[in-house]
Each structure stands twice: as structure tokens, then as C-alpha cells.
């Protein structure tokens, strides 16, 4: 088992901590589907690179994908108004479908065959290479440090927007920064793990944390534990029963969430009595 599952397990230990933390922000902001919209923006950029015959592995392609992610960040930070008639989730949904449809249009004009592109956009955690893991770990560490240094502002903007405005923070600018970093992290993780897995890592541990704790530090701790258990156990199940690895992890997360919710309900009842 080790020789096959070693790097997937390493990836599931070294990488998700940042996703769990960002997930707490995302759940608090109520913009659950932003990761999928961001990933789709980045893939639209890659499709454009395909159309322009740019090598998929090159830095130019990465730059184009990044530029599209930044456009997404700009859209989402510009539409996150203080009091808007249009819920942000609607803007996110629209961005997703338009980006997805635009990708179909671009590919229909591209050279034949899109296996390589699909493979590039959606990775398989089973097949991560050591290099992919270390590259992402370095990126996540850098983003993590940045988030840690400016944690007060980031947390205020996500958890207490009125307070942020009252403090005179340039909320839109911080929003943009948050979305841009978020897009970078999500896009790079999607390429090794796929959309389903990114979504679960962002949302499930965060929801478990919110279920069981009030303080952000405790929520984060619970989220990390859940992410660790879910990831490693999912990979082990995937090996035992020879299942697609990403889907096995996602379903393990689903089961963990049910367990945690049950535990939370029992605890709440006991607390009342």
C-alpha cells in the first residue's frame, strides 16, 4: 500500500490546512460556490492558451490562468457591496456558467482533442508527483504566512464587515486580495486533486468546526483534525476497496459530517438538560 499511496497521503497531510482555513472564511461569507467559479475562470484562461497554441506547461499559460483568476477576484470584490439587492451567490453562479460556456466555445475553435486539457484542469490525487506536492506546499506556506501576518484585517472583513467599515478599512481592497489569493490556492489544488475534492476540503471541515465550536481557533483546530482524518481514511478506503481516490475521500467527509452533526446534537441536548 505504501508505495502507491505514499504521495497521496503526504499531499493530504501537507496541503489541506490552508483550504480549511480559507473554508472558514468562505462559509462565513456565505459564498460556498466561489471555489468552483474561480477554478472555472482559471480553466477559461487555459482554454484561451490552448486556442493560442501556447504550451500548456509553460509559464505563459500559468500567467493567463492567473490573469483570469484576478479578473474573477475583481468581479467578486466589486460586487460584494455593503447593501446590494443582488446576492453575491447569484454573481458567483453567473460567473461560473458564463466561464464554463465560454470555455466550450473556445475549445470548439481549438485544435482537435481535449483530453490533455481536461486532464490538466482536473487532477487525480492518486497520481500526484512529489514535485507537485512540494510546489503547492511552498505556495500554500507563502499564502499562509501572508494570511497570518494580516489575519486581523482578513478576519474582520470576513466575520465583521460593519466593524471593518467602521474601522475605516478599505474593505473592497481586502476583498480583492482575499479572492486573488483564494483563486491562486484553489486553482493550484484543483490541478492535482479535482473539483470535488477542493470543494469538500473547503466546506466540510469548516462546517464541522462551526458545528462544534464558537471560537475561530477551535473551529480551525477541529477542521484540521477532520480534514486529516477524512483525507487519510478516504485514501485508505480507496486502496482497500480499489475505489477512485478523490470520490472516496469526499464520501468519507460526508460520513464524518453526519457523525459530527450527530455528536453536536447529542451534546446540545445534554447541555440543555
- Kindly tell me which of 3 and 215 has the beta carbon lying closer to other proteins: 3
113 contacts other proteins (rule: CB under 8 A): yes
Helix and strand totals (H; E) in the chain:
13, 0
Selection from 124, 106, 21, 26 nearest residue 68 by Cα: 106
Nearest distance from C-beta of residue 110 to other proteins, angstroms? 5
Other residues' Cβ atoms within 10 Å of the Cβ of residue 41: 29
126-185: contacts with other proteins (CB under 8 A): 126-127, 129
Contact region with other proteins (CB under 8 A), list: 32-40, 79-87, 153-161, 241-249: 241-249
C-beta of 10: minimal distance to other proteins in Å? 13
Applying CB under 8 A, the span of 34-42, 105-113, 204-212, 216-224 interacting with other proteins comes to 105-113
CB contact at 8 A, 79 and 91:
yes
Q: How many residues bind other proteins (CB under 8 A)?
A: 34
- Say if residue 70 is exposed, middle or buried (CB neighbours under 10 Å; 0-12, 13-18, 19+): middle
**204 within 8 A of 33, measured Cβ to Cβ:** no
Q: How far is CA 120 from CA 57, 132, 144, in A?
A: 9, 13, 25
Nearer to other proteins, 14 or 32 (CB): 14
44 binds other proteins (CB under 8 A): no
Stretch that binds other proteins, among 49-57, 62-70, 88-96, 148-156 (CB under 8 A): 49-57
The DSSP annotation for 156-221 comes to HHHH-HHHHHHTT--HHHHHHHHHHHHHHHHHHHHHHH-HHHHHHHHHHHHHHHHHH-SSHHHHHH
Does residue 110 interact with other proteins by CB under 8 A? yes
**According to CB under 8 A, which residues from 114 to 133 bind other proteins?**
114-119, 124, 126-127, 129
Binding map of other proteins across residues 185-224, x = CB under 8 A, - = no contact: ----------------------------------------
Q: Which chain residues interact with other proteins by CB under 8 A?
A: 3-5, 7, 49-51, 53-56, 104, 107-108, 110-119, 124, 126-127, 129, 238-239, 242-245
Amino acid at each position: 500500500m505504501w508505495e502507491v499511496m505514499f504521495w497521496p497521503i503526504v499531499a493530504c497531510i501537507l496541503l489541506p490546512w490552508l483550504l480549511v482555513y480559507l473554508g472558514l472564511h468562505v462559509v462565513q461569507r456565505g459564498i460556498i460556490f466561489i471555489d468552483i467559479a474561480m477554478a472555472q475562470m482559471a480553466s477559461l484562461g487555459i482554454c484561451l492558451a490552448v486556442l493560442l497554441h501556447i504550451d500548456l506547461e509553460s509559464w505563459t499559460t500559468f500567467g493567463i490562468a492567473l490573469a483570469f483568476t484576478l479578473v474573477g477576484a475583481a468581479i467578486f470584490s466589486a460586487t460584494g457591496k455593503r447593501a446590494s439587492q443582488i446576492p453575491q451567490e447569484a454573481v458567483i453562479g453567473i460567473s461560473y456558467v458564463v466561464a464554463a460556456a465560454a470555455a466550450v466555445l473556445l475549445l470548439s475553435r481549438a485544435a482537435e482533442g481535449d483530453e490533455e486539457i481536461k486532464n490538466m484542469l482536473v487532477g487525480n490525487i492518486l497520481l500526484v508527483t512529489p514535485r507537485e506536492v512540494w510546489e503547492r506546499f511552498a505556495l500554500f506556506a507563502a499564502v499562509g504566512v501572508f494570511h497570518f501576518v494580516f489575519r486581523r484585517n482578513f478576519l474582520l472583513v470576513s466575520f465583521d464587515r460593519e466593524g471593518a467599515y467602521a474601522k475605516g478599512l478599505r474593505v473592497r481592497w481586502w476583498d480583492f486580495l482575499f479572492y486573488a489569493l483564494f483563486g491562486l490556492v484553489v486553482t493550484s489544488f484543483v490541478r492535482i486533486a479535482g473539483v470535488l475534492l477542493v470543494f469538500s476540503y473547503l466546506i466540510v471541515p469548516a462546517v464541522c468546526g462551526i458545528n462544534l465550536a464558537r471560537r475561530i481557533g477551535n473551529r480551525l483546530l477541529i477542521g484540521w483534525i477532520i480534514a486529516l482524518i477524512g483525507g487519510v481514511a478516504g485514501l485508505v478506503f480507496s486502496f482497500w476497496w480499489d475505489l477512485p481516490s478523490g470520490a472516496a475521500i469526499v464520501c468519507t467527509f460526508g460520513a464524518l459530517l453526519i457523525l459530527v452533526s450527530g455528536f453536536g446534537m447529542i451534546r446540545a441536548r445534554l447541555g440543555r438538560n
